[in-house]
Amino acid sequence: MIDYDDAQMKLKLQELEHALLDNDDDSDNNYNNGMETENETEDSPKEYSSSGSIFSSTSVATSPKSLLFACAASIQNGNFAEASHMINVLRQRVSIQGEPSGRIAAYMVEALAARVESSGRGLYKALKCKEPPSSDRLSAMQVLFEVCPCFRFGFMAANGAILEACKDENRVHIIDFDINQGSQYYTLLQTLAKTSGRRPHVRLTGVDDPESVQRGVGGLTVIGQRLEQLAKDLRVPFEFHAVTSETALVSPSTLDCQPGEEALVVNFAFQLHHMPDESVSTVNLRDRLLRMVKGLNPKLVTVVEQDVNTNTAPFLIRFGEAYDYYSAVFESLDATLGRDSQDRVNVEKQCLARDIINVVACEGEERIERYEVAGKWRARMSMAGFSSSPIGRNVSGEIRKLIKEYSDRYTVKEENGGLHFGWEDKMLIVCSAWM
C-alpha cells in the first residue's frame, strides 16, 4: 500500500472528483450508445477468468458492465496495463448521472482504479459523508437511512423487537455501538410517546468510536442533547450517556450495566461488519465483541446488517457481489429520490462511493466494509451463545404496509426469525433479534 501525504491525498481526491464529474457534460451520447447492449446475457466473474478471454478490443459495442468485469479479471491476473486501458475507456463512457447501471459503473471503475494505484485505503478514510444543506443538517449517510426503505425499515424492525421485548419493563438500558446520527432513537422515542399506559425509563448508552463513526461538530454529545430534548418534549423518561472508546476496547466496566434494576438491550445497527473477524486476524474482534455482549446477559440483542458477502469472498467474486448489491441499491434510490435529486447524488457520491472503494480496492486490515450474508450472522450469533428471538408478526405486518407506499418493487421476507428487506429479488438488509 502506498502512503500519501496530505498534498498527495488532496490531489488523489481531486482526481477522483474529476473522473466522476467531468464526464457528465460530454459523455451522455457515448454512454447511451455503449449501454444499448446492456440487456445482453448476464455477465459473471467466471466469464473473465483470464485477461485473454472474450476481449480482443474495447469497442463501443462492448457494454460497460462487460468492460468492468473484464477489467477486474485483468487486475486479478496482474495485467495492470490492460486494466488501465479499460479504465480509461470506461471513464469516457459512464457517468454519475443518468441510469443506475451507468452510475454504478462510474463508481466501480474508480474503485478498480484505486485498486490498481493502491490508493483505496487513503481514499476511503478521506471521503467523508459530508452534510448536505438541509434544515436538519443530516449527513448524506443519514439521508440514505431515511429515504431507502430497506435501511429505514431495518431500524424500524429493530425498534419493534425492542419495544415488544420491553413492554412490561419499568427501566430499559439500551447499549448501541454506533447510533450514527440518532435517527433510530428519534423514532423509538416517538413510538413510546404514542403508547398508552406507563412509559418505561430509557437509558441509552452510545459508543463513540472515532475510528468507525463520522459526525459533525460536537459529535455524540450534541446528538445526545437533541435526543434528551426530544424525550423531554414527548414526556418520555430518558437519559443519555456517551462512551468515548474504540469499540474493541469497550469492556463491561465502561458500560455501567445495572443487572436486576433494568432490562438490558444491545443494538448493533450497521456496525458489526466493521469489526475484523478470523479471516483478518486470529484475535477475531468480531466474535470477541459478541461473546462480551453475551456475558452482559442482555434481554435482547438486535442486529441490522447488509445481506451480502464482501468479507471472505476472493476479489473477483467479491467484485461481482458488490456490483449486484449496489446496482440494486442505486435502482431503489431512483424509486424514492428521483433521477435529478441532489440528495441522491450526495448519498451515492459521498457515502456509497466510499464503501464501494473500500470493498473493491482494499485487502487485509485495510478492508473495513466486511459485510456477511444472513446465514453467516446467524452462525456467529449461535456460536456466541445466543438463541433466535423471532421478530413478531405485528412488527412485520406493519412494515409490509408501510414499505408498499414507496414502491411495489420493494420486498419483505420472513426467514429463520429475521426480516429481510430487498429490491425485487435482491435482498439488501436483514434484521434479526437474539436472546
Domains of the chain: 6-127+311-366 (no CATH), 140-307+371-434 (3.40.50.150)
Cell 476479489 sits on residue: 315
CB atoms within 10 A of CB 186: 16
Backbone φ and ψ for 93, nearest 5 degrees, come out as -120, -10
Give the distance, in angstroms, between the CA of residue 295 and the centroid of all CA atoms in the same chain.
Answer: 27
Q: What is the pLDDT along the chain (435 residues), one digit of tens a residue?
A: 445 455 555 555 555 555 555 544 443 343 333 333 334 344 444 444 444 444 444 555 589 999 999 999 999 999 999 999 999 999 999 998 889 999 999 999 999 999 998 854 555 555 544 443 333 335 676 777 777 888 899 999 999 999 999 999 999 999 999 888 888 999 999 999 998 878 999 999 999 887 665 555 457 888 899 999 999 999 999 999 999 889 999 999 999 999 999 999 999 999 999 999 999 999 999 999 999 999 999 999 999 999 999 999 999 999 999 999 999 999 999 888 878 888 888 888 878 988 999 999 999 999 999 999 999 999 999 999 999 999 999 999 999 988 888 889 999 999 999 999 999 999 999 999 999
Asked whether 266 and 175 are in contact (CB, 8 A), the reply is: yes
Helices and strands counted in the chain (H then E): 17, 8
Name the grid cell of 42.
Answer: 448476464
Spatial distance between the Cα atoms of 187 and 199, rounded to a whole number of angstroms: 15
Query: Is the four-CA dihedral 190, 194, 199, 200 of positive or negative sign?
Result: negative
| Amino acid symbol at 15 | E
- The whole-number pLDDT of residue 344 equals 87
pLDDT in tens, 261-297: 999 999 999 999 999 999 999 999 999 999 999 999 9
